[in-house]
Chain A
Amino acid sequence: MSSPIISVAQTPRQTDPSGASQGSPVQQDVGPEAPKSAVRQFLMSRSSGKAADTTFLAIMLMCALSIFAIVIFILFILIARSKLSISQFGFKFFTRSAWDPVSGDFGAFAFIYGTLATSLLALLMAVPLALGVAVFLTELCPQKLRAPISFLTELLAAIPSVVYGLWAVFVLVPLMRDQLGPLLQKYLGWTQLFNGYNFGVGLLTASIILAIMILPIISSIARDIMLAVPISQREGVLALGATRWEMIRMGVLRNARIGIVGAIILGLGRALGETMAVTMVIGNHPEIPNSLFSPGYTLASVIANEFTEATGDVYLSALIEIGLALFLVTIVVNAIARALVWAVTRGAPARAH
């Protein structure tokens, strides 16, 4: 029944307590005088495992707590350094749209608006595309195509953002100004979303480049999650007479939805904080844009643009408070996303119909 190693592990002080293995050939070796096996010698040479376990627990706890420490430390520094601006503008800093370094009047609303608008627009474009890629790769793709497409999506994720920015400046901006923009104005002008003069740079261009940047993140994570859905689920749904689309919808997407939302949140995180590529194509004009062609500004961009040359204490302090605003926006957006997940899945187990 029991192998010698297991019996050693269970009872360090020799002999099998149960009579079950009495008379088995193994038992002869385990007598008090028998030479000890290597494993046994190792186990006996160690002191009690309790100290080791406690130390291990403590170290792991410290690793986990360091996350709290880092977040609190960042928050503390951001608040401490932006004190001047906080005391001067108060909570209105976040709801007022003003940015005048000459007279020292600062408010972050235009930047918060720009950050949220570009990120959400990017999600709107990237999510359907990314899910399409993931569904195709896991469910429909011929074996030969799967490896190259997966490889290319992951390659897209590894391209530095400044390269995306350069590509946007030289390819996307002229395309937007000369071809795509006029087309949108002609056919979708009635929505009033494409009013005003089309410079080629602006909110829409920034959103498109962001969408391209977050596409590989969302699609590769969503793919991994869909791959983790057991084959039996798919077979079960198909066996009930479902079409392929019904199988994907009920068997795969439904089971994977929490993970997919997680993937989208990760993509959103990148979109909110993306700096370089956005700075290069958004137009950097701190006003609430009234059209998708208008230039805008994001929280991350204004820090990147103005921090090095900021003179004056209030100016510097306001820029750090912009950092605080970005931090808060990220937290709030994540919290809302999590609340959404919770609301969708509340009460129902992940696989319910």
Chain B
Amino acid sequence: MREKRVKLRLLAALTIAIVGGTAVAQNINAAGATFPNPIYNRWFTEYAKAHPSVHINYQPIGSGGGIRQVSDGTVDFGASDGPMTDEQLSQAKVKVIHIPTVLGAVVPVYNIPNLNRDLNFSGDVIADIYIGKIQKWNDPRIAKDNPGVNLPDHQILPVYRSDGSGTTYIFTDYLSKVSPEWQSKVGRNTSVKWPGPGVGQKGNEGVAGMVRQAPYSFGYVELIYALQNKMSYGAVKNATGKFLKATPDGVTAAAAAAAKNMPADYRVSITNAGGDSSYPISSFTWLLIPRQFSDPAKGRAVKDFLTWMLDKGESEAAGMGYAPLPAQVQTMVRKTITTIK
């Protein structure tokens, strides 16, 4: 009997603690892109440790979902791997601004048995592999980029992402820039109508798994995925004609090259950027922050988080395989943050 009462009291105390705790804390809901989810999660956890009163709850539901939810005002802020279109911006109930956070890159992966060196790819070659114009590994155009490599006379099996994803957006954005035929036939989007033969697989892990298993296949995955899983990947020819293997530094270089004519709303594509050391298939990923928060306390909390992200968060990016923002862009973002109300 007595024990029971003690238990009840404990329970009551616990309930009060929980309810009281949440009442004081500022809960911020966010949703969007899956690609930056690992680093966002880390940032939000570390920020919560330093600021126990703010709790940011991020749901990686996809860029499309992030754009929809922040536009309708069902979350406090969103996140996306592709910038919102002019149409989306004008239709949104909540007016938002884009804040770039980190950069990612997409790398070509392939499986050729008994090949022990990295291959080089030009953008138009990659496009024509997916269009179906280049069907064999020993095609003269692949051979031209890889002098001295003994390429097999075997059909290429192109693999692509079947699920809508920011990775596909960046990849097709690049192909649209380097291949006029791709631009007119396919275009850029989170998912596209793949023109040639090939199979779709779900997620980076699906594409990587397929490429690893199926001999003579060709696919594309996020740089961070390839790094974490120690996959070998190919080099891509950049705008100055150099073949580069993706590294976080090369990605930041691409962003720095593009920073000179960065528009004020940050909606910029940095694929195929100029500069010797720029890796061509790179992109920003953005947070979508409302211009004006209905709850000023929330607005202050989000602004404080963004400042913390630039001060502390950016330095952690490279360690996790993301490329940090170049210094010029960080300075610009700092200014932009002050305009949020």
B191 contact from A101, A103, A174, A316, Cβ within 8 A: A101
B157 contact from A169, A197, A304, A307, Cβ within 8 A: A197
Q: B164 to A310, Cβ gap below 8 A?
A: yes
Q: B163 to A103, Cβ gap below 8 A?
A: no
Q: B164 to A308, Cβ gap below 8 A?
A: yes
Check A257 for interface membership: any CB of B closer than 8 A: no
Collect the chain B residues with CB atoms within 8 Å of residue A202's CB. Answer: 199
Collect the chain A residues with CB atoms within 8 Å of residue B164's CB. Answer: 101, 305-310
Q: B198 to A285, Cβ gap below 8 A?
A: yes
Check B193 for interface membership: any CB of A closer than 8 A: yes
Q: B62 to A309, Cβ gap below 8 A?
A: yes
Collect the chain B residues with CB atoms within 8 Å of residue A297's CB. Answer: 200
Q: A101 to B192, Cβ gap below 8 A?
A: yes
> Which listed segment binds A: B98-106, B112-120, B209-217?
B209-217
Q: A309 to B200, Cβ gap below 8 A?
A: no
Q: B214 to A101, Cβ gap below 8 A?
A: no
Check B268 for interface membership: any CB of A closer than 8 A: no
> Chain B, interface size: which category?
35 or more
Q: Which of A101-124 contact B (CB under 8 A)?
A: 101-103
A99, A101, A197: residue with the most chain B Cβ atoms closer than 10 Å: A101
Check A207 for interface membership: any CB of B closer than 8 A: no
Check A238 for interface membership: any CB of B closer than 8 A: no
Q: A101 to B189, Cβ gap below 8 A?
A: yes
Check B162 for interface membership: any CB of A closer than 8 A: yes
| Bound CA span A103–B65, Å | 20
A285 and B165 in contact, given A174-B213, A199-B214, A308-B62 (Cβ under 8 angstroms): no
Check B250 for interface membership: any CB of A closer than 8 A: no
| Bound CA span A202–B194, Å | 16
Mark interface residues in B174-206 (1 if CB within 8 Å of A CB, else 0).
000000000000111111111001111110001
| Bound CA span A297–B163, Å | 12
A309 and B202 in contact, given A197-B157, A279-B162 (Cβ under 8 angstroms): no
List the B residue with the shortest CB-CB distance to A169.
Answer: B209
Check B111 for interface membership: any CB of A closer than 8 A: no
A100 and B194 in contact, given A305-B200, A308-B163 (Cβ under 8 angstroms): no
- How far apart are A89's CB and chain B's nearest CB, in angstroms? 15
Q: A197 to B193, Cβ gap below 8 A?
A: no
Check B90 for interface membership: any CB of A closer than 8 A: no
Collect the chain B residues with CB atoms within 8 Å of residue A173's CB. Answer: 213
- How far apart are A95's CB and chain B's nearest CB, in angstroms? 18
Collect the chain A residues with CB atoms within 8 Å of residue B192's CB. Answer: 100-102
| Bound CA span A99–B67, Å | 22
Check B328 for interface membership: any CB of A closer than 8 A: no
Check A200 for interface membership: any CB of B closer than 8 A: yes
Q: Which of B19-64 contact A (CB under 8 A)?
A: 61-64
Mark interface residues in A257-292 (1 if CB within 8 Å of B CB, else 0).
000000000000000000000011001111000000
Check B336 for interface membership: any CB of A closer than 8 A: no
Q: A308 to B191, Cβ gap below 8 A?
A: no
Mark interface residues in B49-90 (1 if CB within 8 Å of A CB, else 0).
000000000000111110110000000000000100100100
Q: A283 to B200, Cβ gap below 8 A?
A: yes
Q: Which of A196-221 contact B (CB under 8 A)?
A: 197, 199-202
Collect the chain A residues with CB atoms within 8 Å of residue B162's CB. Answer: 279, 284, 301, 305
Q: B62 to A284, Cβ gap below 8 A?
A: no
B85, B163, B209: residue with the most chain A Cβ atoms closer than 10 Å: B163
A311 and B67 in contact, given A100-B192, A199-B157 (Cβ under 8 angstroms): yes
| Bound CA span A200–B192, Å | 23
List the B residue with the shortest CB-CB distance to A306.
Answer: B164
Q: B201 to A102, Cβ gap below 8 A?
A: no
Q: Which of B141-191 contact A (CB under 8 A)?
A: 155, 157, 162-166, 186-191
A280 contact from B62, B63, B165, B202, Cβ within 8 A: B202
A284 contact from B82, B85, B199, Cβ within 8 A: B199
- How far apart are A102's CB and chain B's nearest CB, in angstroms? 4
| Bound CA span A174–B209, Å | 12
List the B residue with the shortest CB-CB distance to A296.
Answer: B199
A100, A173, A284, A286: residue with the most chain B Cβ atoms closer than 10 Å: A284
A311 and B64 in contact, given A201-B210, A279-B202 (Cβ under 8 angstroms): yes
- How far apart are A209's CB and chain B's nearest CB, in angstroms? 15
| Bound CA span A98–B195, Å | 12
Check A323 for interface membership: any CB of B closer than 8 A: no
| Bound CA span A138–B189, Å | 56
- How far apart are A114's CB and chain B's nearest CB, in angstroms? 12
Q: A306 to B210, Cβ gap below 8 A?
A: no
Q: A99 to B193, Cβ gap below 8 A?
A: yes
Check A81 for interface membership: any CB of B closer than 8 A: no
| Bound CA span A133–B197, Å | 40
| Bound CA span A201–B214, Å | 10
B-side residues, CB < 8 A to A, are 61-65, 67-68, 82, 85, 88, 155, 157, 162-166, 186-194, 197-202, 206, 209-210, 213-214
A-side residues, CB < 8 A to B, are 98-103, 169, 173-174, 177, 197, 199-202, 279-280, 283-286, 295, 297, 301, 304-311, 316
The 7 closest A-B pairs by CB, nearest first: A309-B164, A284-B200, A308-B62, A284-B162, A102-B187, A283-B199, A100-B193
A to B CB contacts below 8 Å, 21 in the list? A100-B193, A101-B189, A102-B189, A169-B209, A173-B213, A177-B214, A199-B199, A201-B199, A202-B199, A279-B202, A280-B201, A284-B201, A285-B199, A286-B193, A307-B164, A308-B164, A309-B62, A309-B64, A310-B64, A311-B189, A311-B190
